[in-house]
Chains A and B, each alone.
Chain A
Amino acid sequence: MHWDWQFTAEILPRLLWATLNTLMAAGLGYAIAAVLGLVFAIAQRTPFRPLTVTVRELVEFLRSTPLVLQIFFVYYVGPEYGVSLSPWVAGMIAIGLHYAAYLSEVYRGGIESVPKGQWEACTAINLTTAQTYRRIILPQALPLSVAGMGNYLISIFKDTPMLSVIGVAELMQAATAIGGQNYRYLEPYTIVGVVFLVISLFSAASIRGFEAWIRRKLGMY
């Protein structure tokens, strides 16, 4: 088996185009996870026991079961109840939920590291719970959390190939389709590997830089 450069040149545009879909899937999934994760984190701090226990257990469940199975579950279960989800929607829900569970732990760490006195001060000046979170706690907790959230963006990016199992047209799916059509898997899968390696190394470096900058700004060291 030898590497065919002409074939490489032929399929490269299609794969790079699919890379955009992969990046979009990662970005969208991360946005959903970032919002939902905050909801999970705050839900676990309410005084209403049944809610905190349920959310706690849900987070544990999402974190300890395979994402690929969750993707199948979301995609195939909808139609049984009359809700047909497109592969994109199902995939984004599954990835968003899965990573929301991870991010909620990061937020939790951030919220817990806000000094207790801040909460007491809020009570003392009669702020409502919503005001306390929005005006006092979150502005202090979020920057702390952001410093630990970058790695999950790369993790989501590396998990997007799993979306190919339900037919989302991302990079892995494009490579498999090309391989099937031409009976050549060497070039497509190798290119996918290289694209992943380049993007993750590059984003890992920029995220490290960004997090160091945030930490310095916050005076964390």
Chain B
Amino acid sequence: MTYISFLSDYGGRFVDGMLVTALQFLCSLALATVLALVFGLMLLSSNAAVKGAAVVYVEFFRGTSLLVQLFWLFFVLPLFGITLEPFFTGFLAVGLNIGAYGAQLVQGAIKSVPRGQWEAAYALSMSPAKRMRRIIIPQALVIMLPAWGNLVIELLKSTALVALIAVPDLMFEAKQLNSSTYLSTWTFGTALVIYYIFARFLVTPTMRSLEHVMARRMGRS
């Protein structure tokens, strides 16, 4: 068997897996972004209870391993009568986990917006919400985008773990193909290359151009 005939026989499986991985990636990215923003702002709150809740969230999801969180959601929650679809459990776990890392990035970025910007917004008697939305967050975005790019790659890599709860993503398809064909180098190798192309030629350039666009809009390019 040549690699070409291997691809023509099983290429469809890889494509199916890729689509599921792409969906997992987009869903968990959306969830992680929202959580990061909400908990990042909560970390900055002066209300002890609000801040405490955010600290607990961040420390809990950063402190325990993603695989542990995934298995806990998948195997333990049903015991309490909450049964979630594997697909949903998958991006829920990845989103919650990466969101905790993201929350810290958001907090750090907002804190590093120069003090004068806060004061100027205050002097113009902007409401706190408006100040955040119009002045602080756009500048924080520019500061955090490079680190956020790395986090998005981490997120893409994390989605591979959902294969372990039988979500038929790229990793899962590769595993299945390996146990039916025993062609380990080709199956796992192909999957590795697809992940690499996804990260290097899709995610990274997108994040780079986003950085450029944001920097230009802030008049900093």
Contact = CB atoms under 8 A, between A and B. Distances in A.
Given A60-B200, A68-B161, A200-B64, A189 B195 contact: no
A161 B65 contact: yes
Interface residues of A, number: 38
Interface string B48-63: 0000000000011011
Contacts of B153: 63-64
Contact of A193 (B64, B159, B174, B184): B64
B76 A185 contact: yes
Nearest to B160: A66
Nearest to B203: A64
B160 A68 contact: yes
27 contacts: A1-B79, A1-B80, A64-B153, A64-B200, A66-B161, A68-B171, A69-B171, A69-B195, A70-B192, A73-B188, A76-B178, A76-B188, A80-B185, A158-B65, A159-B65, A161-B65, A172-B71, A185-B75, A185-B76, A186-B76, A189-B75, A190-B72, A190-B76, A196-B68, A197-B60, A197-B63, A201-B63
Contacts of B200: 60, 64
B191 interface: yes
A200 B63 CA distance: 5
B177 to A, nearest CB: 11
Interface in A101-158: 158
Interface in B145-169: 153, 156-161, 163-164
Contacts of B163: 68
Given A66-B160, A179-B75, A189-B68, A73 B63 contact: no
Interface in A20-38: none
B67 A64 contact: no
B212 interface: no
Q: How large is the interface on B (under 10, 10 to 19, 20 to 34, 35 or more residues)?
A: 35 or more
Contacts of A39: none
Interface in B181-221: 184-185, 188-189, 191-192, 195-196, 199-200, 204
B184 A73 contact: yes
Q: Interface residues of A: mostly helix, strand, loop or mixed?
A: helix
Given A162-B161, A185-B76, A197-B64, 9 more contacts: A64-B157, A69-B192, A80-B184, A189-B68, A189-B71, A193-B72, A196-B64, A197-B63, A200-B64
B175 interface: yes
A172 B188 contact: no
Nearest to B62: A200
Interface of B: 59-60, 62-69, 71-72, 75-76, 79-80, 153, 156-161, 163-164, 171, 174-175, 178, 184-185, 188-189, 191-192, 195-196, 199-200, 204
Nearest to A200: B63
B199 A77 contact: no
Contacts of A73: 184, 188-189, 192
B64 to A, nearest CB: 4
Contacts of A60: 200
Contacts of A161: 65, 67-68
A65 B76 contact: no
A18 to B, nearest CB: 13
Contact of B188 (A63, A77, A160, A204): A77
A11 interface: no
Nearest to A196: B64
A213 interface: no
Contacts of A201: 59, 63
Contact of B157 (A67, A80, A160, A193): A67
Given A185-B76, A186-B79, A190-B76, A69 B67 contact: no
A179 B75 CA distance: 9
A73 B194 CA distance: 14
Given A61-B196, A72-B175, A76-B184, A66 B157 contact: yes
B65 A196 contact: yes
Contact of A69 (B63, B79, B188, B199): B188
Nearest to A72: B188
